[in-house]
Amino acid sequence: MGRADQVTKVKGMFVHPSQVEKVDGDPSRDLRARLLVERPRNKDVMTLEVELKASAPEGFIPAVEQTVKEVMKLRGSVRILNPGTLPAGHKTIEDVRKWD
């Protein structure tokens, strides 16, 4: 049946929605976020997709990538999305890996 919650295992570590919320929890950033987990070439890859209401300040992506590393204890990339891209009520963690 699978899991009922959004907790997912990436590179042997559990990632919780609360960790994603900690990354986007800085009110000065004014962003919405979703963690996308993919598996290209049999390797887990995390991408934090963020929607900003204003343009990204200089150094934003490296700062958020560092926060991801500190909070989740895993390395991940950051992708900036246009406002309105993430649907209302989106999942905090979207695991799209295929296990063939």
pLDDT digits (tens, 9 = 90+) for 10-58: 999 999 999 998 886 665 556 788 999 999 988 999 999 999 887 888 8
Q: What is the reported pTM?
A: 0.85
pLDDT at residue 25, rounded to an integer: 63
Residues 6+ positions from 22 with CB-CB distance below 8 Å: 71
Q: Is residue 61 a contact partner of residue 31, using CB atoms and an 8 Å limit?
A: no
When pLDDT is averaged across residues 73-83 and rounded to a whole number, the result is: 93
pLDDT at residue 87, rounded to an integer: 86
Both tokens of 72, joined, read 């989740």
Write the DSSP symbol of residue 42: G
| Distance, CA of 69 to chain centre | 11
Residue with tokens 């994603």: 20
CATH pick for 8-95 out of 3.40.30.10, 3.30.300.30, 3.90.1200.10, 3.40.50.620: 3.30.300.30
pLDDT at residue 38, rounded to an integer: 94
pLDDT at residue 54, rounded to an integer: 79
Write the DSSP symbol of residue 56: P
pLDDT at residue 3, rounded to an integer: 54
Give the C-alpha separation, 13 to 73, whole Å. 8
